[in-house]
Amino acid sequence: MKFELMSLPYETTSLEPYISSQTIEFHYGKHHSAYVNKLNALLEGTVYADKSLEFIIKNASDAIFNNAAQVYNHDFYWHGLLGSPSSRSVELSDLIDRDFGSLDSFKELFFAKATGLFGSGWVWLVLTDDKLVIETTQNADNPIRHKGVPLLTCDVWEHAYYIDYRNARPDYLKNWFKLINWEFVSDNLADAKNDLIGGYSQPCNDDNEVCDYVDAMQENEHTPS
Ligand code: FE2
């Protein structure tokens, strides 16, 4: 399977003034694009050549894992942003209040985790065991490798903010909060709660039709479209 660079769901100017068109041209057009191209080159002739992105993330290692996860992570990141106001579902608002106390408390904890993450990585809002949690992952690592269902992610690799904010990650984060696509987060939560196989998180190590079916179902359910 050849993977393709996703189409951005908005114009490159849509996230301004918080994320500039120039940042998107480099971050999406250079970095994200490079992960897709590298992944396709690495997959040629391997057992993962015809597998879904989620299957590869759950089972591969080293460079194939890193590039596959970076493709998934960036897809998820861009879909999680929006240049216009969006609304949280009642279900999401209730869970944020239940698990963090309030939206402000959620933001404070997310900010603390994101500014405290050493080096390159990602900050995630994840549904794990029917509970919302904030997780950080280093480099390309991804919650679906660790049995979590991702709902939202923030890229804190320096390439995500250096053009606009230089090394000031906190300033990037304060403005990133203004761009969250809450409808995307709400939809991910609804899918995770309503999907009977949404809780399936064990790596499918057997190469058989059942695994292929489960992986295809998961890809359909959780890959942003
Ligand atoms: Fe990135």
Residue 58 forms part of a structural domain: yes
Q: What is the pTM of this model?
A: 0.86
Q: How far is the CA of 81 from the centre of ligand 1 (A)?
A: 13
54 and 120 share one domain:
no
Task: Sort 211 into a burial class: Cβ within 10 Å, 0-12 / 13-18 / 19+.
Answer: middle
56 and 100 share one domain:
no
Q: How far is the CA of 124 from the centre of ligand 1 (A)?
A: 14
- The answer to whether 86 touches 180, Cβ cutoff 8 Å, is yes
Q: Is the dihedral of CA 150, 156, 160, 165 positive or negative?
A: positive
108 and 154 share one domain:
yes
Q: Is the dihedral of CA 35, 37, 43, 49 positive or negative?
A: positive
Tracing tokens 């990650």 back to the chain, one arrives at 169
- The answer to whether 189 touches 48, Cβ cutoff 8 Å, is no
98 and 183 share one domain:
yes
163 and 188 share one domain:
yes
Residue 61 forms part of a structural domain: yes
Residue 3 forms part of a structural domain: no
48 and 76 share one domain:
yes
What is d(CA 151, CA 191) in angstroms, rounded to the nearest whole number?
10
40 and 107 share one domain:
no
Q: Is the dihedral of CA 177, 181, 185, 186 positive or negative?
A: positive
Q: How far is the CA of 114 from the centre of ligand 1 (A)?
A: 14
**Overall size of the chain counted in residues:** 225
Residues in CB range of 105: below 8 A, 6 or more apart: none
What is d(CA 200, CA 197) in angstroms, rounded to the nearest whole number?
5
3-state secondary structure (DSSP) of residue 201: coil
How many separate domains does the chain show? 2
Residues in CB range of 133: below 8 A, 6 or more apart: 99, 125, 126, 127, 148
Residues in CB range of 183: below 8 A, 6 or more apart: 82, 86, 87
Tracing tokens 């196989």 back to the chain, one arrives at 197
Residue 201 forms part of a structural domain: no
Residue 36 forms part of a structural domain: yes
Closest CA to 157 of 148, 149, 167: 167
Residue 222 forms part of a structural domain: no
| pLDDT tens per residue across all 225 residues of the chain | 699 999 999 999 999 999 999 999 999 999 999 999 999 999 999 999 999 999 999 999 999 999 999 999 999 999 999 999 999 999 999 999 999 999 999 999 999 999 999 999 999 999 999 999 999 999 999 999 998 999 999 999 999 999 999 999 999 999 999 999 999 999 999 999 986 444 433 334 444 444 454 445 444 444 443
Q: How far is the CA of 169 from the centre of ligand 1 (A)?
A: 13
102 and 77 share one domain:
no
Q: How far is the CA of 122 from the centre of ligand 1 (A)?
A: 9
Q: How far is the CA of 17 from the centre of ligand 1 (A)?
A: 18
- Write b or e for each residue in 92-124: b if 16 or more Cβ atoms lie within 10 A of its Cβ, otherwise e: beebbeebbeeeeebbeebbebbeebeeebbbb
Q: How far is the CA of 155 from the centre of ligand 1 (A)?
A: 6
Structure confidence at residue 207 (pLDDT)? 43
CATH code, domain with 159: 3.55.40.20
What is d(CA 33, CA 44) in angstroms, rounded to the nearest whole number?
18
Q: How far is the CA of 144 from the centre of ligand 1 (A)?
A: 18
51 and 110 share one domain:
no
CATH code, domain with 26: 1.10.287.990
Q: How far is the CA of 36 from the centre of ligand 1 (A)?
A: 12
97 and 184 share one domain:
yes
74 and 113 share one domain:
no
Residue 2 forms part of a structural domain: no
Residue 156 forms part of a structural domain: yes
Domain limits for position 136: 90-194
119 and 150 share one domain:
yes
Structure confidence at residue 202 (pLDDT)? 37
Q: How far is the CA of 175 from the centre of ligand 1 (A)?
A: 16
Count CA atoms within 13 Å of residue 87 on its CB side: 3
